[in-house]
Amino acid sequence: MEWLNLYSLKIIIFNCYLIKYFSQVLLKTTVGDIDLELWSKEAPKACRNFIQLCLEGYYNGTIFHRVVKGFIVQGGDPTGTGTGGESIYGEPFKDEFHSRIRFNRRGLLAMANAGRNDNGSQFFFTLGATPELHNKHTIFGKVSGETIFNMIKLQEALVDQDERPLYPQKIVKTEVLFNPFPDIEPRGILKEAESNEEKKKIKDKSGVNPCYSDASTLTSQQNYQPYVQTVDSQIISLCLCLYADTARLLDVHYHNKAEVMYPCEARDLPVVEMPFKM
* Cα–Cα distance, 109 to 133 (Å, whole number): 12
- Percentage of the chain exceeding pLDDT 90: 57
Higher pLDDT, 117 or 189: 117
Cite the beta strand spans of the chain per DSSP E: 22-29, 32-39, 66-68, 72-75, 108-113, 119-126, 139-143, 171-178
14 is catalytic: no
Neighbours of 270 (CB within 10 A): 7
Q: Is the dihedral of CA 262, 264, 265, 271 positive or negative?
A: negative
Task: Respond yes or no: is residue 66 known to be catalytic.
Answer: yes
Does residue 71 carry a catalytic annotation?
yes
> How far apart (Å, rounded) are the C-alpha atoms in residues 97 and 8?
33
Instruction: Say which residues have a Cβ less than 8 Å from residue 141's Cβ, sequence separation at least 6.
Output: 36, 37, 38, 39, 43, 47, 50, 108, 109
Q: Which of 71, 97, 178, 181 is catalytic?
A: 71
- Can you tell me the distance from the alpha carbon of 110 to that of 39, in angstroms, rounded to the nearest whole number? 11
Task: List the catalytic residue out of 52, 74, 122, 155.
Answer: 74
- What class, spelled out in words, does domain 2-190 have in CATH? mainly beta
Q: Which of 103, 124, 125, 140 is catalytic?
A: 124
**Residue 67: strand pairing partners:** 73
Which residues contact residue 272 at a Cβ distance below 8 angstroms, ignoring those fewer than 6 apart? 232, 234, 235, 238
CB 120 within 8 A of CB 86: yes
Catalytic residue among 123, 127, 137, 155: 137
Active-site position among 27, 38, 49, 66: 66
pLDDT at 260 over 90: no
Domain with CATH 2.40.100.10 in the chain: 2-190
pLDDT, average across residues 7-21:
46
Amino acid 229: pLDDT = 53
Q: Among the options 60, 97, 102, 133, which is catalytic?
A: 133
Query: Is it the case that residue 214 has pLDDT exceeding 60?
Result: no
Tens of pLDDT, residue by residue over 20-76, are 457 899 999 999 999 999 999 999 999 999 999 999 999 999 999 999 999 999 999
Residue 124 designated active-site: yes
Q: Is 49 a catalytic residue?
A: no
First and final C-alpha spacing in the chain: 87
**Active-site residue (options: 49, 52, 113, 179):** 113
